Amino acid sequence: MKTKQVLNNSLIAKEPVSADNFTVGVSVDCVIFGFEACKLKVLLIKSDMPSYKDRWSLLGDIVKPGEDIDEAVSRIVKNRTGLNDVYMEQVRTFGKVNRHPEGRVITIAYCSLINIRHNELKIYDNELHWHDVNEIKEMAFDHKEILDACYYWLQYRMQEHPLGLRLLGTEFSLRDLQLLYENILDEKMDRRNFRKKFFSMGLLIDTGILESNVPHRPGKLYRFDYEKYGSMKRKKWLGIDF
């Protein structure tokens, strides 16, 4: 009985609860990475807030009353880009007190990786276009911090899951595969070790076809065995060392 009384006392508010205690907004920021011409890029717009005039911003907005978080993500991506069915994965929450100039706003970051050639933008408002990730130095709000966190998340995911392979199409060369990983992980890899690592997993299917119309010696084309991968225990994918 005494324990119950202590618990109840701990739940008693020190201050009266009022609307002032809950003046906080929730927003969503979408980090959409794209891969094109062996470069990792991110989709940005010019901020329309006077405080951040001419600075680049992520695609984001306040979550509307009665709107689910995932619904807000879909709305933002569609309204800003015209794209449908872009898979977005929640990464983390950012809640520094002064991160937004108009008041307390907590934002939830979502991330995606798409093939730019297969996802043509239909809206270009606020100078929306793709930017090389390595060339971005300064952004509106705390969006550079959010971008960096999502980039780190993407690099980690690339080493845990084969999500990047879908950017190469159904058939790809080992050269294209290595360039993909080198550019996203931002790390130069030993050619022999890289190929040995992939072949050791037994997930590459030799198509028996060579590349065509390439400026270098044609290499073999491979397919990824998603069916076999699906039946494996996914405790480890590539790991870190190449």
Residue bearing the bigger pLDDT, 12 or 60: 60
Q: Give the tens place of pLDDT for each residue, 118-154.
A: 899 999 999 999 999 999 999 999 999 999 999 999 9
Domains of the chain as residue ranges with CATH: 20-159 (3.90.79.10), 165-231 (1.10.10.10)
Instruction: Choose between 8 and 26: higher pLDDT.
Output: 26
**Residue 105 confidence class, pLDDT cut points 50, 70, 90:** very high
| CA dist., res. 49 & res. 100, Å (int) | 11
Is the pLDDT at 14 greater than 50? The verdict is no
pTM: 0.84
Phi-psi region of 141 (alpha: psi -120 to 50; beta: other; left: phi over 0): left
Q: How far apart are CA 94 and CA 236, in angstroms?
A: 29
- C-alpha distances (whole Å) from 101 to each of 76, 95, 97, 105, 141 are 21, 13, 10, 9, 8
Kindly report the number of other CB atoms within 10 A of residue 79's CB atom: 12
Query: pLDDT digits over 41-93, tens only?
Result: 999 999 988 999 889 999 999 999 999 999 999 999 999 999 998 999 999 99
The CA distance from 43 to 129, in Å, is 6
The answer to whether residue 217 scores a pLDDT higher than 50 is yes
How confident is the prediction for the chain on average, in pLDDT?
86
